Amino acid sequence: MTRILAIHSSARRDESVSRRLTEELVARLVEKADNSTVTIRDVAEGLSFPSEAWVTDRTIPQEQRTAEQNTALEQTDRLVEELRAADIIVVGAPTYNFGIPAALKAWIDHVAQPGRTFRYTEDGPVGLLSGKRVYVVNASGGVPVGSPADFVTPYLKHVFAFLGVTDVEFVAADQLMVTGDDSMRQARDAIEKAAA
């Protein structure tokens, strides 16, 4: 069975290009797989942000936490387990002011957990999520992917590599305010290629 985790982070709903293309890619991946399940996580609906207690308590093993600590870390635990269980992760990542939405950054803060998705060694950190595949669907109004102003794709590539995932593919619908139809066509071509 192929387990797909789809992450939506756009604040927009019906008019969101990243949501639409993420859904199209997930649908193509489901068609390709013999047997698959899809978990949809809409981080734009709201995630908690790190607090002082969260920063301290998240490294305590679950079996050693107090009931209060487990309650406070319930959201983090759920997000980490969703990510660890997935074989394929599809991230809808619009560009907001040259970077990712705050909601997506909050998700990253929740899932980048020492001892669970990466660990520290004498030689530096080692990611614990190898063997997974990530697709990032990036939509931007004016920022070209790969340009000096693109802080979305290199950041997400680095984050996933830090977690041990090096099989990362980008589907870009960039510069939509400039080359809308052409950009959408190229993104859909990339989806077909990615799901082939």
Closest of 64, 68, 41 to residue 53, by C-alpha = 68
Going from N- to C-terminal start, the domains of the chain cover 2-194
Alpha helices in 33-135 (DSSP H): 52-57, 67-72, 74-85, 102-111
Cα–Cα separations (whole angstroms), residue 148 to 140, 152, 184: 14, 11, 22
CATH for 2-194, options being 3.40.50.12280, 3.40.50.360, 1.10.3720.10, 3.40.1360.10? 3.40.50.360
> Helix or strand or coil: residue 13?
coil
Pick out the residues of the known binding site for FMN: 10, 16-18
Task: Look at residue 106 in the predicted model and tell me its pLDDT.
Answer: 97
Task: Quote the pTM value.
Answer: 0.93
CA–CA distance, 104 with 7 (Å, rounded to integer) = 9
Q: What is the pLDDT of residues 75-87, one digit of tens each?
A: 999 999 999 999 9
Least trusted range by pLDDT, from 35-44, 57-66, 89-98, 117-126: 57-66
Bind-site residues? 10, 16-18
Give the integer Cα–Cα distance in Å for 33 and 51. Answer: 40
